[in-house]
Structures are given as structure tokens and as C-alpha cells.
Amino acid sequence: MSTIELRHIINEHLSHIEDVSFLNAIKTIIESKASGGIYRLSEFQIDRIYSARQQLKNGQTISHDDLQKEIDQWLSTK
């Protein structure tokens, strides 16, 4: 099957899909391929990564076991 035929089939199928979350997922896949696979971070994401790196440098971490205990404790109070 040629590229043109595949595009036509995909376009035809997409025109019948009403699921917004599915269409957004397809859009993300297409955009990542069209942009050469480069993922662009938002300013918010960049700030969160910077903040997380600073916390790591400052030793502000928690072990998986301790975190699980906190979660279990929180869930038992609900």
C-alpha cells in the first residue's frame, strides 16, 4: 500500500472519530513526528524540572518506602 493510500485511509477513519482525548493523542503523535521527534517543554514544565533538580541538590528527597508509608497513612484517614 502506498503512502498516499495510507494517508487517505487514515484521514477517512479520523473523520468519523468523535473521541477528543483520542484525537488529541493522535495529534501529539503526528506533531512529534512532524517536528523531527523534538519534544518542546512548556515554561511550567521547565520550572518544575529546575525546582526538582534544586530539591535533589539540597537533599530534599524521600525514599520510596517512606513515601509509600505516607500514602498508606493518608489513605487510611479517608
Across the range 1-13, mean pLDDT stands at 92
- At 34 the pLDDT is 74
> pLDDT tens digit string along 30-78?
887 776 667 788 999 999 999 999 999 999 999 999 999 999 999 998 6
Torsion of CA 69, 73, 75, 78, to 10 degrees: -170
| Residue among 5, 3, 26, 2 at smallest CA distance from 14 | 26
- At 35 the pLDDT is 66
pLDDT at 13 over 80: yes
Instruction: State the burial class of residue 26 (Cβ atoms within 10 Å of its Cβ: 0-12, 13-18, 19+).
Output: middle
- Give SS3 for 76: helix
- At 32 the pLDDT is 78
